[in-house]
Amino acid sequence: MRSNPTPSSSRQDWTLVIGPRSGWFELHLADLWRYRDLLWMFVRRDFVAVYKQTILGPIWFFIQPLLTTLTFTIIFSGVAKMSTDGLPPMLFYLAGTTPWNYFATCLTKTSTTFKDNANLFGKVYFPRLITPLSIVVSTLIQFAIQFFTLVIALGWYLLQGADIHPNLSGILIGTPLLILMLGGLGLGCGVIISSLTTKYRDLAFLVTFGVQLAMYATPVVYPLAVAPTEHRFWLELNPIAGIIEAFRSLYLGAGTFSWGLLGYSAGFTTMTLLLGILIFNRVEKTFMDTV
């Protein structure tokens, strides 16, 4: 009976066929949708874990950017006298670090997906992409707190009568799009790195270091406009540059808002994300054997 499957059994409609490495484009996106509750549970877990472990947990998200901003204000504006586009330095740096931190945190955290979850991944199947996705979503909490800080600072400066011109309608439409791009880019880069680091774990050190360096290659502590023209092209190649500049110009009314740069960032994000998902999908099937 084993050697001769009956005609009826060969015509059976199997719900799942487990085979060797599948093609590049079998992404099982339907699976991802079926497990959407898990995404929510992971986000909740991350939130509760941070919230419960220390009373200061969420407050750290608040203190950290404030301290960073303060440091930047003293060093770059106070000591180095770098331009802040005529804006109050505090506000300028806050508007730069808020989106940058979101991107950087997404990237750093997702870049260790496989390593951090090796134990879980080794025991049970679920679409692996859920994990980095949940990180991108739960990092929004951190972003929200920092964003709140920015809004308060902005409100305070506006009350003081500072010369700032937020673009309200632009903010409403632009903010979600910019966040989406930041998250997407962070996720894309993160999953690519996490896929590549399944074999070599010490590459992860490079990530933390690289992200720190990358901040200086991005107009976070200086406006894009001050860059010398011959270097400007290279700065604009950085896909985050356009996003941060756009963010700052929406909220503070100063800086370079360029559709061309944003379009380039959007295209770059989409490509990175696609490539990331493809590689991630490729690696997830067998990474348990190499980790």
Residues that bind another protein (CB under 8 A): 1-2, 5, 9, 12-22, 34-35, 37-38, 40-42, 44-45, 48-49, 52-53, 120-126, 199-203, 285-286, 288-290
Helix (H) or strand (E) holding 156: helix 130-159
User: Cβ closer to another protein: 200 or 259?
Assistant: 200
Give min distance, CB of 284 to another protein, in A.
9
Give min distance, CB of 136 to another protein, in A.
18
Give min distance, CB of 119 to another protein, in A.
8
Give min distance, CB of 106 to another protein, in A.
21
User: Cβ closer to another protein: 84 or 198?
Assistant: 198
User: Cβ closer to another protein: 19 or 260?
Assistant: 19
User: Cβ closer to another protein: 15 or 160?
Assistant: 15
The crossing angle, in degrees rounded to 10, of helices 168-196 and 203-216 is: 150
Q: Which residue has the tokens 């979600």?
A: 176
Task: Tell which residue, 142, 150, 39, 5, has the closest CA to residue 88.
Answer: 150
Give min distance, CB of 207 to another protein, in A.
13
Give the Cα separation of 91 and 46 in Å (integer): 29
| 255 contacts 169 by C-beta, under 8 angstroms | no
Give the Cα separation of 103 and 21 in Å (integer): 32
Give the Cα separation of 10 and 206 in Å (integer): 51
| 253 contacts 247 by C-beta, under 8 angstroms | no
| 146 contacts 65 by C-beta, under 8 angstroms | yes
User: Cβ closer to another protein: 12 or 160?
Assistant: 12
User: Cβ closer to another protein: 55 or 159?
Assistant: 55
Give min distance, CB of 206 to another protein, in A.
9
User: Cβ closer to another protein: 35 or 72?
Assistant: 35
Give the Cα separation of 73 and 82 in Å (integer): 10
Give min distance, CB of 137 to another protein, in A.
14
| 217 CA to centre of own chain | 17
Give the Cα separation of 31 and 47 in Å (integer): 24
